[in-house]
Amino acid sequence: MEKRLGISMGDAAGVGPEIILKIMNEYMNDVIIYGSYDVLDHYNETFGYDYHLNRIGSAQEAITDKVNIIDHTDLKYSDFETGKVSPLCGKNAYLYLEKAINDAMAGNIRAIVTCPLNKEALRAGGYNYDGHTEILSTLTDTSKYAMLLWSDRLKTIHVSTHVSLAKAIQMVKKDRIIDVVQLACDILKKAGYKDPRIAVAGLNPHAGENGLFGDEEIREIIPAIEELKKNGISVYGPIPPDVVFLKCYKGEYDLVVAMYHDQGHIPLKLMDFDGGVNITCGLPIIRTSVDHGTAFDIAGKNIARPDSLIKAIKAADMISKAE
């Protein structure tokens, strides 16, 4: 029997439990949930799903036609307030992810799909990480990794993510750009792109305008592109950031390398907020994620859309089968 995908529930006070249950009719036999049995049971009853929940101790115990849940922390719905930052929820979100990572590393599941956690709750719960990506890189002992946002019409990978803008500028370095482009090329080839066309965004307005508006393009970005071209990668740029994403969206390129977090996130969320998928490239395991947060403002109301989770599952399935 084919191994399943693992879904980490994320922060129990957010929309993770809701969007998971919304897709179980279609995916219950494909996934194992790492999360709170009690919280999922509450929403199962509250929203009238009537699923058969099955609490298991290991991935090997999963049963067909039931919602299989690995719950090793025993968090209760009564332990926190929905839609509010909770140290307990932050701690448990970490523990769900840690368990899923360990199972993926051991080969018990094919890949991990993550629902959102809250960074404030995570830190309040005792785990000083900026988010999923940093936890994954630490627990898998990975030094070269990058965040890739994937949608049908636009894909973008980031040179830096959860750092200040001032630090992000300092991180625009030739070696890092080379690593990120190579990671992007690898994942695109796994997804079926024979010769990926990768566009590199400039850091500065007009991509620096030959040094008039900054020289990072001249010092770091162009030398990286030239070296990548020598290695046979179809890479283009630096292209002014105000046009490169539209060019990619229209099909001129397959992916854009963004120099910092918001440079890549803003266009993708504008063009496909509900359908974006977050993929961590470079890990020894496969991880995809929804491309949205915990949405505390709508948590518990059963109005959160599962579109991004569905696409994250499909992406994890596709990549894991191409491995």
Q: For residue 236, what is the domain's CATH number?
A: 3.40.718.10
**Which domain covers residue 266, as residue numbers?**
144-275
- Provide the pLDDT confidence category of residue 227 given band limits of 50, 70 and 90: very high
The verdict on 110 and 177 lying in the same domain is no
Other CB atoms within 10 Å distance of the CB of residue 79: 16
Which residues sit opposite 20 in a β-bridge? none
CA 245 to chain centre: 20
Which pLDDT score, from 0 to 100, does residue 152 have? 84
The verdict on 227 and 198 lying in the same domain is yes
The verdict on 2 and 116 lying in the same domain is yes
- Average of per-residue pLDDT values in the chain: 94
- The tens digit of pLDDT for each residue in 3-62 reads 999 999 999 999 999 999 999 999 999 999 999 999 999 999 999 999 999 999 999 999
pLDDT above 70: percentage of residues in the chain: 99
Which one of 17-21, 274-278, 290-294 scores highest in mean pLDDT?
17-21
The verdict on 133 and 154 lying in the same domain is no
Which pLDDT score, from 0 to 100, does residue 122 have? 97
CB under 8 Å to 322, separation ≥6 — which residues?
A: 190, 191, 192
d(CA 193, CA 69): 35
Which pLDDT score, from 0 to 100, does residue 1 have? 62
The verdict on 69 and 198 lying in the same domain is no
- Provide the pLDDT confidence category of residue 133 given band limits of 50, 70 and 90: confident
Residue 89 near residue 127 (C-beta atoms within 8 A): no
Q: In this structure, what are the phi and psi dihedrals at residue 230, rounded to the nearest 5 degrees?
A: -65, -25
The verdict on 162 and 221 lying in the same domain is yes
The verdict on 169 and 122 lying in the same domain is no
d(CA 190, CA 148): 14
As a dihedral over the C-alpha atoms of residue 285, residue 288, residue 292, residue 296, rounded to 10 degrees, the angle is -60
The verdict on 174 and 262 lying in the same domain is yes
The verdict on 227 and 319 lying in the same domain is no
- Provide the pLDDT confidence category of residue 273 given band limits of 50, 70 and 90: confident
If one counts the domains in the chain, the total is: 2
The verdict on 95 and 232 lying in the same domain is no
The verdict on 188 and 245 lying in the same domain is yes
The verdict on 191 and 270 lying in the same domain is yes
